[in-house]
Amino acid sequence: MSVVVLGAELLGEVKEEGLDELLLSLQELQSSSDEPLGFPPLDTLLNVFQNPPQTRQQQRYHTQFGEWSTQSPAVPPPKDKPLPVIELTGSSACSGKTQLLYHLISLSLLPPKHQDVLIRGKGSAVVLCDLSSKFSVLRLHDIMHNHVLSAIEHSTISEIPIASLLSDSLTHLHIFRPHSTTSFLSTLSFLPKYLLGQPPSHFSTNRPLGLLIINNISTFLWQDRLDADEETDPSTSKDPVKSGSNFFSQRYRTLVSTLREIQRTFSCVIVATNRGLAPVMSVSGRRALSSYLPPIWNSFCTVKLVTERNRVRKFGPGLSIEEASKEAWQRWEAVERSPFTVSVNWADSEDWKEEVREAVRKLEVQGSFFFCVTDEGVMLDVNED
């Protein structure tokens, strides 16, 4: 075989791809981490919903042909796996969803390691769309501070400059506070230009976007419904034939398509909090909280969770005022120590794959987990029954 022929054959085996394809491959490699949040209970749930067990068709295929068979038909490549979208819905006020949000943001902002101290952060940037304008940076700072202190206690290092570490980490938190759905959509559309613009207007150029947070996605819900009603009011609408439900749903279709485009660009995890309006129901003994957002949003979410505060036993019947006063401080302490429960929301479980339902049932406590909120932050409660 001549050198020319051999060179031609070797050249034919070389795969060519553009720079955009190479960058996309690197993004997919980075986003394929088994711990996108660095928070084991949620990472486990995401893995179940995104990487469910083999389908029955795949199992039959492997049983019939076996991996050794060279005559097996080619298996079509799987569809592109959507990036994680998590909805945290509180069953009532003070249900713990915002405290859990602080914890996730702190893990994303803090670095994996600092001066030989293992902090176990993700070292990412975070974009927060605070629709309700109630997010407390001071509370986030306290949680991050105590997380670093705990990491130092478990290391051989006696002291590190915590103030400078926290200050540097918080510069990578980008907060936007839109005042309407229109403003919110404009903010999301502007986001790629803001993060990728040159010269940069922020300090997160060298950090990946780890989290896109939407704090209280239902803040503008009723204003949107009012706008939809006005669009269909013959006395005010320019197009009386237009359907109000279509006008309302169109805003959420635009929202979902914009968020998908952001995820394609930055390969980030989206976490949205929501307020529950209906009582928590039970579906075959599992927690279910019906959504009042349009179906397109519900199908966009990878996993939907319900957060609840565990109830403390009420005063017994026939208890006198004097006896209740004596027990008041004990009851207050019990309320303070009462843990929170995070459960998979089974309200839309009929839309899941059977493999996903079965995998969730097999998880410990069916994917639920418990945590306590203290002045120091969020503590996982592993002893809760």
Residue range 33-40: mean pLDDT, rounded: 85
Residue 84 DSSP symbol? P
What local confidence, expressed as pLDDT, does residue 76 receive? 45
Q: pLDDT per residue over 303-327, tens digit each?
A: 999 999 887 666 667 667 776 676 6
What local confidence, expressed as pLDDT, does residue 380 receive? 84
Query: Looking at the predicted structure, is the pLDDT value of residue 70 above 50?
Result: no
Residue 67, exposed/middle/buried by CB under 10 A (0-12, 13-18, 19+)?
exposed
Confidence of residue 241 (pLDDT cuts 50, 70, 90): very low
Q: Cα separation of 164 and 102, whole Å?
A: 20
Q: How many CA atoms are closer than 13 Å to the CA of 28, on its beta-carbon side? A: 9
Query: Looking at the predicted structure, is the pLDDT value of residue 69 above 90?
Result: no
Residue range 248-261: mean pLDDT, rounded: 94
Name the strand (E) or helix (H) holding 333: helix 321-337
Mean pLDDT computed over every residue of the chain: 82
What local confidence, expressed as pLDDT, does residue 118 receive? 93
Higher pLDDT, residue 47 or 61 = 47
Confidence of residue 57 (pLDDT cuts 50, 70, 90): low
What local confidence, expressed as pLDDT, does residue 31 receive? 47
Residue range 352-364: mean pLDDT, rounded: 88
